[in-house]
Chains A and B, each alone.
Chain A
């Protein structure tokens, strides 16, 4: 058996090596670059100086490299074989193109590259023809790379040849060579940013260069991060370039050589060669943040993924789930469920356990359903985050209705006895297993918006992972929510802590209706943010209709009156749904919600990057009307006199992003920090004037206190 496998493997390997080798061989045979040699003129004199050109022609899409090839590749190399006494100068390179491929940036040439070198002849020339031979080593690349060599030679002063004059051609080639320019060129380094302060004397450069079309191509490796974009400013003849540094230490370098390049189409870049000297006086440059620093999403994500492990995310989800039990909207529903346990005696232990399991199943499945929808939406390309359900005013309206009905029931306005109300009965005190299951569903529905502390990181992690990991985290969150009841139902000892059943239960039940009504009011307030006063009116009318309905259903009527009430009943059942369908999301274009904030400025990515260019510290708050944690944090930690004073004293710029309705720019900002829900608090420390750079952005805890802010900002 084993032997068979080995035979198979050998055969298989044979096939593979066969299928691979010919492909490579073919490519090696075919040439993609061809070099020729051209002399300015073929007749030379003693102590003469002429220009030699190595003319490289390339197949379409293939390229060779500049002196600094960039992140990969090799520069063209020329080895000369010349008679004694002759001297060959350094290669003069045409201005290259910037060639980007994924995370790699190269400098090189497409189609054609003409490299120039000067030849100095000795004082006495040998008799007869003089042969010069050049071996041109090229790394020729398209999507793959092939080393190619051309050996080319030329005869000078050959009595058998006609004299040729190529000076026009050579002049043309010179026009593509980067032109050395004079001026005051200084460089310095601050942290990881290279600063170039350039005062060129060349008018052409100054006339044509703009902040958008100018770039710096260093002649050496490791000076700049080629992938980063430069920050260019031109003012009063002074060009300031800030560029993220590369991997080579600048300490050993005496001068920095490179090209100032005015970008053109392929092969039409215009280069100006400069040599910059260290700027000894450089102390406090003003701006260092790269323009695209605000968009660090991919990097951040990678780091985050390696920090939050699956295990810690599961554990955080469990903890977050347990915390959810204390939310004002969840607590009453759970209490009612717990009351049903009070009524059970020890003999019913088994029943209690099955109920506990049914409830847990209800919660976990509901979480999985919501999580599943979220994943599907994400897969379909929608930008969504946790809590997205509440971004739709219709769903907020339905939840407000639901809580209103539960509240009416708890306070005793009606008992679910008629045939339409079975669900409600099951919701609160029923004994059937499905009732327990649906209690779980209800608890989940009302709990999800209360993105509890500690859940943010877990959720952010969940949504960046493969589906099964995400789903396991959602399930764990549900399990956490279900855990307290499950423990109660499984361990009779715990149930003994609960008081004995009695008349108090009715009072308690009525009392519980108030947090439920409060939750309903909160949802209507959320709706007012999303749909304005008109939306509120519609939902309140719907509630009126519901109350009327309930009242009608209790009327004892006969004959025509009965038929009338039935008709009315159908009508008023329809009304709340009808009114909901008229609710519109007006939040997107309404600025009313912004006015609700006592201070701070509305967040936008543009605003943030503008502020990042400045020196002042920045505090970013991402919030939503439906997010209780956000509201509490805002009220007790931010919108208080001491914090306002703190912001003022430290000159903190305060940006608020409102995610009440879906806003893609905010969702993307959250994702940059590995999060998928609000709240999130980010502090960008003020620029350190000594190094000209801001410290790393700091993510503050989701449970925010004034003390934390004080510590973070005043340090």
Chain B
């Protein structure tokens, strides 16, 4: 019995050798069509979120800052909530991320974040506070809003603006093409995402 355990342990120990684990090339940042960098975090409700756990589902990352005029534009017109609802109704995991550092605009406690979500009537799956900016920098998130769409295989398929009209004016929502919904449509129809990279617009992320 003990011998068996000992052999098993020894065999197990050689697995990394066989897999060539030790040789890992050095890599760079987020690219369209490449694997979305994994991250783990605790959401505002205290639940663990691990991106890898959601493979098999489409994941949307939304960088947000409730005080940014561009974010307000999309929330006050319910454009963001409607987009979230359409997405999550179709099984998409929607993650809102706040990368504002402590002391900067948009930095909130978990309680405050819950209140903000309730007030806005969000349909996001969860919200993560990233005050260290670690996740933001992992994705090179530049603006609020800045959107990322990750395919069921875990690859980044869209990165950029929420829609095609970069304006702080609420009137600009009408008539603009919702680029996130367009990407989700492409994905659910099994097509390659046509517009996969756009210039994100909005306030800078307050790292």
Contacts and interface: CB of A to CB of B under 8 A. Distances in A.
A71 B26 contact: no
A144 B133 contact: no
Contacts of B203: 72-73, 141, 144-145
Interface string A6-28: 00010011001100100010000
B115 interface: yes
B199 A457 contact: no
Interface in B49-87: 66-70
Interface string A137-163: 101010111110000000000000000
Interface in B100-137: 104-105, 111-112, 114-116, 118-119, 133-134, 137
A319 B21 CA distance: 14
A145 B37 contact: no
A494 interface: yes
B7 interface: no
Given A144-B67, A147-B168, A697-B26, A72 B2 contact: no
B27 to A, nearest CB: 5
A697 B38 CA distance: 22
A302 B22 contact: no
B112 A696 contact: no
A16 B205 CA distance: 22
Nearest to B133: A102
Interface residues of A, number: 59
A306 B39 contact: yes
Contacts of B205: 72, 102, 104
Given A13-B119, A696-B25, A101 B204 contact: yes
Interface stretch (B138-146, B147-155, B174-182, B186-194): B138-146
A677 B172 CA distance: 56
A16 B67 contact: no
Nearest to A487: B6
Given A72-B143, A139-B168, A145 B69 contact: yes
Interface in B1-48: 2-3, 6, 13, 16, 20-29, 37-39
A147 B69 contact: yes
A299 interface: yes
A17 B105 contact: no
Contacts of B169: 137, 147
Contacts of B2: 487, 491, 493-494
Range class of the B interface residue count: 35 or more
Interface stretch (A229-237, A348-356, A698-706): A698-706
Contacts of B23: 698-701
B16 to A, nearest CB: 7
A300 interface: yes
B167 A673 contact: no
A148 to B, nearest CB: 10
A307 B24 contact: yes
Given A306-B37, A306-B38, A699-B24, A103 B168 contact: no
Contacts of B116: 16
Contact of B142 (A16, A104, A454): A104
A256 interface: no
B201 interface: yes
A530 B21 CA distance: 34
A637 to B, nearest CB: 14
Secondary structure call for the A interface? mixed
A249 B195 CA distance: 11
Nearest to A27: B67
Contacts of A24: 67
Secondary structure call for the B interface? loop
Contacts of A221: 199
A322 interface: yes
A71 B143 contact: yes
Contacts of A702: 22
A12 B201 contact: no
A102 B68 contact: no
A166 interface: no
B178 to A, nearest CB: 19
Interface string A309-341: 000100010110010000000000000000000
Contact of A699 (B16, B26, B38): B26
Interface in A439-464: 453-454, 457
A137 B118 CA distance: 32
Contacts of B142: 71-72, 103-104
A12 B22 contact: no
Contacts of B25: 696-699
Contact of A454 (B22, B118, B199, B207): B22
Contacts of B199: 221-222, 247-248
Nearest to B160: A247
Nearest to A483: B9
A582 B166 CA distance: 70
Contacts of B22: 453-454, 457, 699, 701-703
Nearest to B28: A299
Contacts of A375: none
A288 interface: no
A86 B143 CA distance: 38
Contacts of A703: 22
A47 interface: no
Contacts of B29: 299
Contacts of A17: 115, 119
Contacts of B70: 145
Contacts of B206: 143-144
A673 B27 CA distance: 10
A74 interface: yes
Contact of A302 (B67, B138, B168): B138
Contacts of A197: none
17 contacts: A20-B66, A72-B203, A72-B205, A74-B168, A137-B168, A143-B104, A143-B105, A145-B69, A147-B168, A247-B197, A249-B197, A299-B28, A302-B134, A302-B138, A453-B22, A454-B16, A487-B2
**Which 5 pairs from chain A and chain B are nearest by CB?**
A147-B168, A13-B115, A221-B199, A72-B204, A102-B207
Given A247-B159, A696-B25, 17 more contacts: A9-B114, A13-B114, A13-B115, A13-B118, A74-B166, A74-B168, A104-B207, A144-B203, A147-B168, A222-B197, A302-B134, A303-B37, A307-B24, A316-B16, A491-B2, A698-B26, A701-B23
